[in-house]
Structure 1
Amino acid sequence: MVMRQYELVERVRAYDPGADEDALNRAYVFSMKAHGNQMRASGDPYFSHPVEVAGLLSEKKLDTASIITGLLHDTVEDTEVTVSEIQDKFGEEIAQLVDGVTKLSQLELQSDRHKQAENFRKLVLAMSKDIRVLIVKLADRLHNMQTLHFIKKEEKRRRIARETMDIYVPLAERIGIRDWKEALEDMAFRELNPDARASILNRLQFLSEQGGNLIDNIIKELKDLQKSHGIEVEVSGRQKTPYSIWRKMQRQNVGFEQLSDIMAFRVIVDTTEQCYHALGVIHSRYSVVPGRFKDYISLPKPNGYRSLHTGVIGPENQRIEIQIRTKEMHAIAELGVAAHWQYKQTGGSDQPSKEGRQYRWMRDMLDILANASNPDEFLEHTKMEMFSDQVFVFTPKGDLHALPRGATPVDFAYSVHTEIGNHCVAAKVNGRIVPLRTELRNGDQLEISTSSAQTPNPSWESFVVTGKARSCIRRFIRSKQREQYANLGREIIDKTFRQASYDLTEKALKAILDRFQCDTVEDLQVRVGEGQVASREVLYAIYPGAKDKESAKKVPARRAKDLPSHAIPVRGLIAGMAVHYAKCCHPLPGDRIVGIVTTGKGVTIHTIDCRTLEAFADMPERWIDVSWETDQTETASFVGRLHAVISNEPGSLASLTTAIGRDGGNIINLKFTNRGQDFFDLLVDVEVKDVRQLNNIMAALRATPVVNSVERSHG
């Protein structure tokens, strides 16, 4: 039965006597006429959906603008109504809210996941302007989930349920609307894993029948206990939801029978001081379950949730969870951001507070959005951000930062500020210097050292856990890779034209961009640097006669000794981006080197005597003559590989490592390849500045009595 017009208006006026009754009535009629004869999958008139959404919003006592938005939220998408028409009839504020909630994606995108990611990106942008957009969207999803069973296609039902679990449940949790979060979670769980849900419900029902008045008895004992210590409390109790029980079973890898704290009790007091007093009373009376105490009053959750949590072996010898909070804390715990909604009766207009805009997690999402290269990457990082448990750490000044469990100093640096993360060089945890990949613990105090010369290290991506850190690092890698490929491509093109004795101009390059499907000259240089386009193709495109000249000559197989004396410098190129140093020969500054173009990877640097080069003898177009850049190698370090044979006797390995360290070498890897009765063969990877330093280390090793032989390894 559709809620009648006067019923909705009376429901809103009951908590907001100053509500704009005329606007509510007009919105009700406007929406009903706009949707006309449209029907839902359930067979009900489509208009029943926006009315139910408005009803859900009124239960949270939201302002008139939100209720009207609920009534109108589907008119732009599903009818002929336009946003400008809504603005004319209901004002700019409501038009912006409706526009924010409207599903904007009308294009056929690559996949359901891509469409989901794109819609979520738009939702985050919209809700960053006004948190009410998210609340209306959640109410919309809640009613759609309540009628999900009317959709005939199982695949579509499961897709909607998975989207609800992945996106809307975490968002509802983040803004603290607990009952909506649990309802969405349960309905999605029912669709995605009906057997598990039914099994847990059956077991809960059995326990209820066996326990009789167990919950009532525990509530009475907790009340009496607090009253005997002079504390007036309200106590309520319930069993945990099927999904929370199932998730705990999965996380702890235990069966239902092994879970003993499936009941949660809430103790409501008047003041914060009484919260701690009541906690002391409970802990003095019952045995505490180790590791189950959490103080969310002194360290609130990001959504503003405050409460004390403890686990005890309580009344009736039952293991239970108890949450202790004030009435104000309870309102925020139940309603989240909706509990902050305030009405300022100024000139007859409602002006809701904007506290929801200040949520740190939303700012973090916007940072991720700015750095992500595509909607799928954004969705990946935000899901990671929303699902993580938390650890609380402090700055040296005592400022609190909440991070996902498993976070590192690099994650912390990015949470403080993007630039601090980008230029992070070292970290102190509790006054002690630690590796940047160190996992942080609750209560750690962090101090980050920065340097303007430092840039994000691509290896950081392997250990950071926050979406913001990962997206910033990826953004740097993308921009740096492009810069590196462009520089390399420019050098390669210039070299090719000089060798062929042809002039190269910017105008000539712009004239051939369409042929290579590039928008700018830099795009073309990037494609050459990546190995996607051969520099000779660029030459032939500008000077077609060059191809005829070269085809008249017989092109011999390429050898390293045939390379011209003038070479492209390896200038400021970061290994792993545009340039890769070959693992087969480990080239070092001072070696004669050659580059091999690898499609999509740029250039791989080899020593001229590397046996791998034989495989490219018949591909002269892939050879590039390169040289070391003096300025770059003064501070950079490279890896040289040694093959050593040492005596099998005590202390021989210590003698080898001491000799290497004495000459400034840093061992980064050591591997035994053969163990004999008298000698061991091993490979040693040593970090050095150039080939001269490696030669000095080899000379020192040859003078060491326990070292039988040492050679540079080329394989």
Structure 2
Amino acid sequence: MVQVRASQPVNDDGSLNLDAWLDHMLALDPALERDGLRAACEYARDVEQQAIAQKNIWAEGNSSFRTGLEIAEILADLKLDQDSLVAAVIYRAVREDKVSLAAVQERFGPVVGKLIKGVLRMAAISNSVNPRDSLVLGSQAQVENLRKMLVAMVDDVRVALIKLAERTCAIREVKDADEEKRHRVAREVFDIYAPLAHRLGIGHIKWELEDLSFRYLEPEQYKQIAKLLHERRLDRQQYISDVMQQLRDELNAAGIKADISGRAKHIYSIWRKMQKKGLEFSQIYDVRAVRVLVPEVRDCYTTLGIVHSLWRHIPREFDDYIANPKENGYRSLHTAVLGPEGKVLEVQIRTHGMHEEAELGVCAHWKYKGTDVKGNSNHYEEKMAWLRQVLEWHEELGDIGGLAEQLKVDIEPDRVYVFTPDGHAIDLPKGATPLDFAYRVHTQIGHNCRGAKINGRIVPLTYSLHTGDQVAIITGKNGAPSRDWLNSNLGYVTTSRARAKIVHWFKQQDREQNVAAGKQMLERELARLAMPPVDFNKLAEKCNLKSAEDLYAALGAGDLRLAPTVNQAQQLVEPDRSSEQLELIPRKPSSRPGRHDDVQILGVGNLLTQMAGCCQPLPGDPIIGYITVGRGVTIHRQDCPTALQLVEREAHRMIQVSWGSTPVQTYPVDILVRAYDRSGLLRDVSQVLLNEKINVLAVNTRSNKEDNTAAMRLTIEIPGLEALGRLLARISQLPNVIETRRERGSKDV
């Protein structure tokens, strides 16, 4: 839940009581030097008073001096060193041009100056995040700013920690700001800094950043969950107190010295679990939770046995993160039991050292001047290695999408742990394939990959890996990547690292080869989807390229993805010729009565929506809403020229919208599958349709005995063009299939 910050001590006249504040800081960390910290505070206070005297009031309406003290408090709680706290106290004064960096460096030394300079470089990203968009929709300037941010963190992790603390203060301060600023800061914090806090293992900062961001990005959902928590707080507190006392008595009887506390469940965590698992609030197991801290690892498992002897364990609700730590180093035992009165209760069990790591993360292990501040700094080294990997992949990928994807994918708790033939464990995101594994092991193994064995059995390269699989990659001597690996519809790779390596390989190939390959890919896909003729030069302009040849080269090299390019081609279809329009005619609404959630409007209840005729958005297209007068909300594509004009003229009437989590409107389409006849062909096609969750309305199969071929015509229901392209690509991979395409002249066009 959102933390409430303590007020700074003040004198009777309202000024800061600096001595009381310093007492508080030394209580947090007795290793701090009182005189040095006092000098920094007095310096920051003096430069601010000079700025006020010169009518140079701080830009954001907040005292840079008071904000600097708050940043320092956060860092002292994280046990950072003296230089970090001095830099934190002075940083906002430098950022707001109340004092020069050179003056600070001369007064407090090069280390403090370097830290402030690094945080200033990271601050550049704050100026480039679009308040309406996620970071994934960023520009080239954002790419450069993120690169600078990562370089700064790799040079000295203290820079990242100061910036995290500063952004924590920033999102606390926007409570009374205007809606646009709240949304901008929350979007930036949620997209960048909360994932980084998680990756660095700083649990309590991560939770606060997520909760506050969620509060401003989804205010209605936040208030709903907060209300439900408040309504049950008194009963829950009494219940937790009784549970803690019962558990404390049992542990004392067993001779285990334990610190037991009630653990608050964070609002964003509750909402995320409800969304991910489709649960009601009453079904969230860990709203009632206790945390047990014990001296030794063996005490953790003894305590677990006592908990399970007191209350019945709920099946499949146990996680041993001590034997299998999370990727950010988190270690603990989690179990859910039916506690007193039959109520579900979560219990977390860990040692005091594990708890310190969970709360402080990388701060519990960081090194300076070649000496260990604390023993066992492996987790710190792993985190720095991760940051360097992200930077390396970013250099090769060259676009913000892969980098933001890596930042976000890496915080997902669902990971798979697989083994090399030598028994080394490798963790990958859930859904990773053998190709992802191959590129994770070594780039050349990925390039040369020709097949894979899982537990000794040959599997397709699109196979989804599972925890415990032993993976052996079959390589060729002179192998090279296939362009099909970049086709997201075929599912060969899922990680940004593998995609970056493949794209980098194709970028190094001859341009003529890329042009030929890209032209073949595009023409084949347009023919498969039965699209009318497209002017490729106009399509190139729409993709911000100079000519059709540049378009082909970009597709062939992997700089452009096929599916978005096809979507752009769709927009070039003449709107006046209904017989050649590409958009799909939906089935009658009566086929699914009572469903109106094709489009979700953020923070608003059910409103009348209609699709704009100028751009005709389909499910999967990026969209934006325009509030009309008397006709509800009109849904446009985000790149629609009409929508872009409306944003400039009437920005106050534009709202964020998104497609429903599961599209409810489907579209009938006729497709043709031609293949050399064989037994099991219909079964294999049906299996692909089943895997893609496609409903079949009609099937007609004819065999030609003269050339031993079979033609299958199917009428299917699909949610959009992207699903159609993916389905045709998957069917074309089946043995003996000659071609798959959408039928021209069918009832859906």
Given that 1:427 and 1:434 are in contact with CA atoms closer than 8 Å, whether structure 2 keeps it comes out as yes
From the superposition, tell whether residues 452 and 202 of structure 1 become closer, same or farther in structure 2 (CA, over 3 Å). same
Q: Which residue of 1 is the match for residue 465 of structure 2?
A: 440
Deviations 1:620-676 (A, max 9, x none): xxxxxxxxxxxxxxxxxxxxx9979x9xxxxx844999xxxxxxxxxxxxx987549
Displacement of 1:151: 1.8
Displacement of 1:450: 3.4
- 1:237 alignment partner AA: G
Q: 3-state DSSP class of the match of 1:243?
A: helix
- 2:504 alignment partner AA: R
Give distance in 2, aligned partners of 1:281 and 1:415: 41
Give distance in 2, aligned partners of 1:278 and 1:488: 62
Given that 2:297 and 2:351 are in contact with CA atoms closer than 8 Å, whether structure 1 keeps it comes out as yes
Q: Which residue of 1 is the match for residue 454 of structure 2?
A: 429
Displacement of 1:42: 7.2
Give distance in 1, aligned partners of 2:703 and 2:476: 49
Specify which of 57, 65, 68 is matched with residue 50 of structure 1.
68
Q: Which residue of 1 is the match for residue 641 of structure 2?
A: none
Gaps of 5+ in 1: 490-525, 534-572, 579-597, 602-640, 647-651, 658-670, 685-709
Q: How does 1:266-305 map to 2 (within 5 A)?
A: 266-305=291-330
Give distance in 2, aligned partners of 1:11 and 1:250: 41
From the superposition, tell whether residues 574 and 432 of structure 1 become closer, same or farther in structure 2 (CA, over 3 Å). farther
Displacement of 1:47: 2.2
Q: 3-state DSSP class of the match of 1:289?
A: strand
Normalised to the residue count of structure 2, the TM-score between the two structures is: 0.62
Deviations 1:308-339 (A, max 9, x none): 11122123322121111111111111221122
- 1:130 alignment partner AA: D
From the superposition, tell whether residues 27 and 448 of structure 1 become closer, same or farther in structure 2 (CA, over 3 Å). farther
Q: Which residue of 2 is the match for residue 559 of structure 1?
A: none
Displacement of 1:171: 1.1
From the superposition, tell whether residues 71 and 350 of structure 1 become closer, same or farther in structure 2 (CA, over 3 Å). farther
Give distance in 2, aligned partners of 1:262 and 1:45: 37
Q: 3-state DSSP class of the match of 1:147?
A: helix
Give distance in 2, aligned partners of 1:180 and 1:643: 57
Given the alignment of the two structures, is residue 472 of structure 1 paired with residue 497 of structure 2, yes or no?
Answer: no
- 2:319 alignment partner AA: K
Given the alignment of the two structures, is residue 682 of structure 1 paired with residue 710 of structure 2, yes or no?
Answer: yes
Q: 3-state DSSP class of the match of 1:169?
A: helix
Q: Which residue of 2 is the match for residue 89 of structure 1?
A: 107
Q: Which residue of 1 is the match for residue 160 of structure 2?
A: 134
Given the alignment of the two structures, is residue 334 of structure 1 paired with residue 353 of structure 2, yes or no?
Answer: no
Given the alignment of the two structures, is residue 457 of structure 1 paired with residue 482 of structure 2, yes or no?
Answer: yes
Given that 1:429 and 1:446 are in contact with CA atoms closer than 8 Å, whether structure 2 keeps it comes out as yes
Displacement of 1:358: 3.4
Give distance in 2, aligned partners of 1:26 and 1:433: 68
Given the alignment of the two structures, is residue 24 of structure 1 paired with residue 45 of structure 2, yes or no?
Answer: no
Give distance in 1, aligned partners of 2:16 and 2:376: 25
Give distance in 2, aligned partners of 1:106 and 1:312: 44
Given that 2:418 and 2:470 are in contact with CA atoms closer than 8 Å, whether structure 1 keeps it comes out as yes
From the superposition, tell whether residues 122 and 576 of structure 1 become closer, same or farther in structure 2 (CA, over 3 Å). closer
Q: Which residue of 2 is the match for residue 318 of structure 1?
A: 343
Displacement of 1:57: 0.9
How many equivalent residue pairs? Answer: 534
Q: How does 1:25-174 map to 2 (within 5 A)?
A: 25-35=38-48, 36-37=51-52, 39=57, 43-79=61-97, 81-103=99-121, 105=124, 113=135, 114=138, 118-152=144-178, 154-174=179-199
Give distance in 2, aligned partners of 1:354 and 1:64: 24
Given the alignment of the two structures, is residue 530 of structure 1 paired with residue 549 of structure 2, yes or no?
Answer: yes
Give distance in 1, aligned partners of 2:32 and 2:407: 37
Report which of the two structures shows the higher radius of gyration computed on alpha carbons: 1
Give distance in 1, aligned partners of 2:197 and 2:248: 31
Q: 3-state DSSP class of the match of 1:179?
A: helix
Q: How does 1:645-684 map to 2 (within 5 A)?
A: 653-654=678-679, 675=702, 682-683=710-711
Given that 2:335 and 2:347 are in contact with CA atoms closer than 8 Å, whether structure 1 keeps it comes out as yes
Q: Which residue of 2 is the match for residue 232 of structure 1?
A: 257
Given that 2:200 and 2:362 are in contact with CA atoms closer than 8 Å, whether structure 1 keeps it comes out as yes
Gaps of 5+ in 2: 1-7, 9-14, 519-544, 559-565, 570-671, 683-697, 713-737, 745-749
Q: Which residue of 2 is the match for residue 248 of structure 1?
A: 273
Give distance in 2, aligned partners of 1:169 and 1:289: 31
Pick which of 425-434 and 94-103 moved more.
425-434
Given that 1:393 and 1:400 are in contact with CA atoms closer than 8 Å, whether structure 2 keeps it comes out as yes
Give distance in 2, aligned partners of 1:6 and 1:325: 37
Displacement of 1:381: 3.5
Given that 2:243 and 2:340 are in contact with CA atoms closer than 8 Å, whether structure 1 keeps it comes out as yes
Q: 3-state DSSP class of the match of 1:254?
A: coil
From the superposition, tell whether residues 68 and 415 of structure 1 become closer, same or farther in structure 2 (CA, over 3 Å). farther
Give distance in 1, aligned partners of 2:40 and 2:468: 51
- 2:177 alignment partner AA: I
Given that 2:94 and 2:101 are in contact with CA atoms closer than 8 Å, whether structure 1 keeps it comes out as yes
Give distance in 1, aligned partners of 2:375 and 2:113: 16
Give distance in 1, aligned partners of 2:681 and 2:176: 74
Given that 1:121 and 1:375 are in contact with CA atoms closer than 8 Å, whether structure 2 keeps it comes out as no
Q: Detail structure 1 runs of 4+ shifted over 6 Å in the superposition.
A: 106-110, 342-346, 349-355, 486-489, 526-529, 641-644, 676-681
Give distance in 2, aligned partners of 1:167 and 1:451: 40
Q: 3-state DSSP class of the match of 2:213?
A: helix
Deviations 1:376-415 (A, max 9, x none): 4422343233345222222333333222222222222233
- 2:300 alignment partner AA: C
Pick which of 281-290 and 159-168 moved more.
281-290
Q: Which residue of 2 is the match for residue 213 of structure 1?
A: 238
Cα RMSD of the aligned pairs, angstroms, is: 4.4
Deviations 1:587-630 (A, max 9, x none): xxxxxxxxxxx9x99xxxxxxxxxxxxxxxxxxxxxxxxxxxxx
Deviations 1:71-119 (A, max 9, x none): 2323443216444444333333222221111146399869564365543
From the superposition, tell whether residues 268 and 447 of structure 1 become closer, same or farther in structure 2 (CA, over 3 Å). same
- 2:90 alignment partner AA: L
Deviations 1:550-571 (A, max 9, x none): xxxxxxxxxxxxxxxxxxxxxx
